[in-house]
Amino acid sequence: MNQNQATVWSKVDQYIAERLIEQDAVLDKVLSTNQEAGLPAIDVSAAQGKFLNLLVQLHGSKRILEIGTLGGYSTIWLARALPSEGKIVTLELDPHHARIAAANLAHAQVQDKVEIRVGKALEQLALMRDEGVEAFDFIFIDADKPNNPHYLKGALQFSHPGTVIVGDNVVRGGEVLDENNYDPRVIGVRQFYDLLAEEKRITATAIQTVGSKGYDGFMIGIVTN
C-alpha cells in the first residue's frame, strides 16, 4: 500500500459515510472518549459498523456474542440493530477498556442490552459453558488474532444452525499469503482459515476490504449444523 492509495481509500470512506451514514454525535463522542482514554484506534470504521448493524437486522438476530469490546464502538452499532428484547454479551480482557466501554454504552443508552464480561475471553467462554449460557444468533470475533482459531471453536460451541459468525482483520494487508511470516497475528489468522476450511459445521467466505482502516477483510460464515 502506498500513501496515495491510503489517501484515496480514506477519502472514499469519508464519501460513503457522508452520504449513507447519518451524522451521529453519540458515536463521535465515543471515538473521542476512547482516544482521550488512551485506547488504541483499532475500532471498525463507521461504514464497517453500519455493515455489521445491517447484517444483524437482515438476519433478525436477537442474541449476539462479541469477542473483543475495546471501547464499545462496534458494540453500540450491534446493539442498535437489536429488537427491544435483544441482548449482547461482549468479552473484554482489559478492565480499563471495559470501564470506558461501560460509560460509552450508557452514553449511547444501550447499556440495558449489553453485558460486559471482563477477563481472558477463552476463560470467559469456559465459564459461560459452565453457566449454561444459551446459544447466540450472531457472533462477532474481533480480538487478539493469535487466538482466532480458539475463538472460532468457542463460537461454534455457542452456536445453533443458522448462527452467523463474522471475523474481522482476516487479510492483514495481504500478509496471510506469506507462509514464512511468523508474526503471531498472521499465524493466528492463517490457522483461522485452516479451521474454517476443515470445519464441517460452518460454511464461510471472506471479503477483502480497503478504506480508512487500510487493506484488510471480513470473514462471514453460517453455522449449518
Q: Pull the grid cell for residue 210.
A: 480497503
- Is residue 216 over pLDDT 70? yes
Q: Give the per-residue pLDDT at 1.
A: 58
- What pTM does this model have? 0.96
Burial 194-204 (b: 16+ CB within 10 A, else e): ebbeebeebeb
pLDDT digits (tens, 9 = 90+) for 141-189: 999 999 999 999 999 999 999 999 999 999 999 999 999 999 999 999 9
State the average pLDDT over residues 24-45. Answer: 97
Percent of the chain at pLDDT > 70 equals 99
State the average pLDDT over residues 9-22. Answer: 95
- Is residue 6 over pLDDT 90? no
Name 92's bridge partners: 118
- Is residue 3 over pLDDT 90? no
Q: Pull the grid cell for residue 154.
A: 468457542
State the average pLDDT over residues 65-87. Answer: 98
The distance of Cα 146 from the centroid of its chain, to the nearest Å, equals: 15
Number of helices followed by number of strands (H, E) in the chain: 8, 7
First to last CA, the chain: 40
Q: Give the per-residue pLDDT at 5.
A: 86
